[in-house]
């Protein structure tokens, strides 16, 4: 059973546009929701993370929107740039399971110049 | 410079051979993880260790083995029992405290079985 479902699988956005990636989760015990960014041939790196007690977190051009009742969260990239082209993973963590993180399957984002 | 190193970057192996992937961290992290990444599959957890001399199976442990004799090191052996070992392998570490949670990843090792 896939505990974190991510969509779309791939996304193409014009430069300057808004990129939106969505995730849904099942386990209401999850209390930490990070997004990771991965460039080709590199390891993922933490981009931004949120806890369920807030509905939105913004860091620069990146914003997480969180809807606890719907068990959904999304990443918005404002003013998307070609350098944002990467694979993005949403994830979730259960406090009863230490630091184990469950990842979505990823979204390949391509920003057209 | 603190971080995680993985070696080698590329590894080729003949079918039927065991191979060991190296992972070292100097972040003083307690927890370490091994993931496998295949196209369209995301990151799948192979093994993890929350403390020295202890480790647990992840979701896809069959055909893999690990050891954690030192805090800094968490090598992964891909055995001949792993039916489809060609993949990108990622090692990660974290503080092990539930308040933190961020996992730091190494650059990965791409294993190809010939």
Residue B98 pLDDT exceeds 60: no
pLDDT confidence tier of residue A1, bands split at 50, 70 and 90? low
Query: What pLDDT is attached to residue B100?
Result: 56
For an interface test with A, the pick among B98, B110, B112 (most A C-beta atoms closer than 10 Å) comes out as: B98
Quick check: bond before B2 cis, omega within 30?
A: no
CB B10, CB B72: distance < 8 Å? no
Mean pLDDT for B26-44 is 91
Query: What pLDDT is attached to residue A4?
Result: 94
In the predicted model, what is the mean pLDDT of chain B?
91
Torsion of the alpha carbons at B32, A107, A45 and B106, rounded to the nearest 10: 50
Query: What pLDDT is attached to residue B104?
Result: 92
Query: What pLDDT is attached to residue B97?
Result: 63
In the predicted model, what is the mean pLDDT of chain A?
94
For an interface test with B, the pick among A38, A99, A102 (most B C-beta atoms closer than 10 Å) comes out as: A99
Nearest by CB to A99, from B103, B108, B110: name it: B103
Determine the Cα–Cα distance for residues B1 and B22; give it in Å rounded to an integer.
Answer: 19
Query: What pLDDT is attached to residue B6?
Result: 96
**What is the token pair recorded at B48?**
């993890």
CB B105, CB B7: distance < 8 Å? no
Shortest distance, CA A104 to any CA of chain B (angstroms): 6
Residue A37 pLDDT exceeds 90: yes
**What is the token pair recorded at A112?**
């057209």
Contact A42 B107 (CB under 8 A): yes
**What is the token pair recorded at B92?**
């990660």
């Amino acid at each position: 059973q896939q505990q974190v479902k991510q969509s779309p699988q791939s996304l193409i956005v014009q430069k300057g546009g808004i990129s939106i990636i969505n995730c849904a989760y099942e386990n209401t015990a999850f209390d930490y929701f990070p997004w990771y960014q991965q460039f080709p041939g590199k390891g993922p790196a933490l981009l931004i993370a949120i806890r369920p007690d807030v509905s939105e977190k913004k860091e620069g051009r990146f914003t997480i929107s969180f809807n606890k009742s719907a068990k959904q969260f999304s990443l918005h990239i404002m003013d998307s740039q070609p350098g944002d082209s990467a694979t993005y993973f949403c994830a979730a963590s259960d406090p009863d399971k230490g630091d184990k993180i469950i990842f979505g399957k990823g979204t390949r984002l391509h920003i057209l110049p | 410079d603190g971080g995680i190193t993985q070696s080698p970057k590329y590894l080729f192996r003949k079918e039927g051979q065991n191979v060991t992937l190296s992972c070292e961290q100097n972040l003083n992290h307690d927890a370490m993880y091994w993931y496998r990444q295949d196209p369209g599959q995301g990151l799948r957890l192979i093994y993890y260790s929350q403390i020295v001399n202890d480790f647990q199976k992840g979701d896809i442990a069959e055909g893999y083995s690990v050891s954690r004799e030192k805090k800094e090191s968490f090598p992964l052996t891909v055995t001949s029992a792993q039916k489809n070992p060609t993949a990108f392998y990622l090692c990660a570490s974290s503080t092990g405290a539930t308040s933190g949670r961020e996992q730091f990843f190494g650059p990965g090792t791409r294993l190809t079985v010939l």
